[in-house]
Amino acid sequence: MSNDIAPDFPGRLKTALGDETPYSFGKRSGVDQSLISKYLSGKSEPGTRKLIAIAENLQVDLLWLLTGEGEMRRGPGMGLSVLPLPQERVVYEGLPEDVLRIPIYDLSAGEGLEPNGELVESRGDTVRRWLREEVGINPDDAFLARVMGDSMVPVLYPGDLALGILGDEYRGEGVYALWFEDEFYVKTVERRGSTKVRLLSKNPDYEPIFVHEGDKIRILGRVLRRFTGLY
């Protein structure tokens, strides 16, 4: 990761922080203040997760923070675009090769909410390479989802950003983002035999949800990782 960061990252970080202290920023972002101080002094450089967290919390463009290219603040048309939730896989045509767009969903890890769709934009090959090499998935198959309930604590916490791989197939017991009876959930999916399916929470305060024949259920994809402190 450090080899992909252009020179004078400390200067760009200082500019983005403005008058905010490393302590204040660290407290609200979840990035330790000692690390922020090391980044500012040039003694260390952030990895992928920390870099994304810094960019999101400072509301600056990730490409600018990484390379110095483009505008520091996202102008009109460059930020998050609120779109209707796609019912089928979205194919983005005519995009430059250095642009990666990952669908991001607001979902409930509690009572279930109607979803909204967003797109988060990342440029450069850094995120693509991380998804391929570290996560082991095709970047075009990735999705992100914000968790807004506590039913999956301690696996997922409110405010976490879950990273997953798109696909409507059951890939064995695990955590999935899915629609059930027109509501959006993140749950452990447990299947016994060919017909018995339960949606399980990690929080013991929540009862299992039993899926019966004829119920409407559609899997968005399997959750693989979580990020915390980004929102």
- Write out the two tokens for 89: 């896989």
Q: Which residue has the tokens 């979205």?
A: 90
Residue of 29, 108, 151, 201 marked active site: 151
Instruction: Mark whether 151 is an active-site residue.
Output: yes
CA distance 227 to 230: 7
Instruction: Mark whether 187 is an active-site residue.
Output: yes
Q: Which residue has the tokens 């905010």?
A: 20
CA distance 133 to 138: 10
Q: Which residue has the tokens 């035999």?
A: 193
CA distance 113 to 164: 19
- Residue 75 CA, chain-centre distance (Å), reads 22
Residue of 29, 122, 187, 201 marked active site: 187
Spatial neighbors of 67 by CB under 8 A, at least 6 apart, are 5, 6, 124
Report the catalytic residues.
151, 187
